Amino acid sequence: MRRRLTPVPAFAAAAMAAVLAVATPASAVPADKPRVLSTWTQTSAASYEAWAAARGNRAGWSAYGFDWSTDYCTSSPENPFGFPFRMACARHDFGYRNHRAAGLFPAAKSRLDEAFHADLKRVCAHYSGSRRGSCDSTAWTYYQAVRILGIS
């Protein structure tokens, strides 16, 4: 048995078109958002620099709906022993918050924590001798804290 399609009245078709034109679909967020998010949360210095540049121009990325909020190093010092870890903590927060919002956090957590450690080690690379050793030890402690205690 063949079904017969009934024509939609003109006013119903116009109303539906108006609703569809006004509605903002989930696809309003650029389709490459997961790729951009991944690019900005890798362990490399280039990834960190790309994130920092975007953070400096957040308005240019507003269509992506990224969460740029941060509490920096939460309850840990942002400059332990004078080592400036604040921005590494900000990028780590960015990674956690945005991967959670995208439903990608469990698969990305270890990479985000490793990127955090890489950022901290880059801070430490500016020191030498015992000061470098102290920075590296502090970076390792911060990394272990987020690796073990970071909420998944």
What string of DSSP letters covers 13-38? HHHHHHHHHH---GGGS-TTHHHHHH
Give the pLDDT confidence score for residue 21 in this predicted structure. Answer: 39
Cα dihedral sign for 135, 82, 76, 123? Answer: negative
Q: Is residue 20 part of a domain?
A: no
Token pair of 138 as six digits: 């502090």
Q: Is residue 6 part of a domain?
A: no
Q: Is residue 25 part of a domain?
A: no
Give the pLDDT confidence score for residue 27 in this predicted structure. Answer: 52
Cα dihedral sign for 50, 145, 83, 69? Answer: positive
Structural domain of 97: 31-149
Q: Is residue 21 part of a domain?
A: no
pTM: 0.82
Does residue 126 carry a catalytic annotation?
Answer: no
Give the pLDDT confidence score for residue 32 in this predicted structure. Answer: 96
Give the pLDDT confidence score for residue 28 in this predicted structure. Answer: 79
Find out whether 91 and 115 touch, Cβ atoms under 8 Å: yes
Q: Is the pLDDT of residue 120 over 90?
A: yes
**pLDDT band, very low/low/confident/very high, at 2 (cuts 50, 70, 90):** low
**HSE-CB of 142 using CA atoms within 13 angstroms:** 33
CATH number at residue 90: 1.20.90.10
Count structural domains, the chain.
1
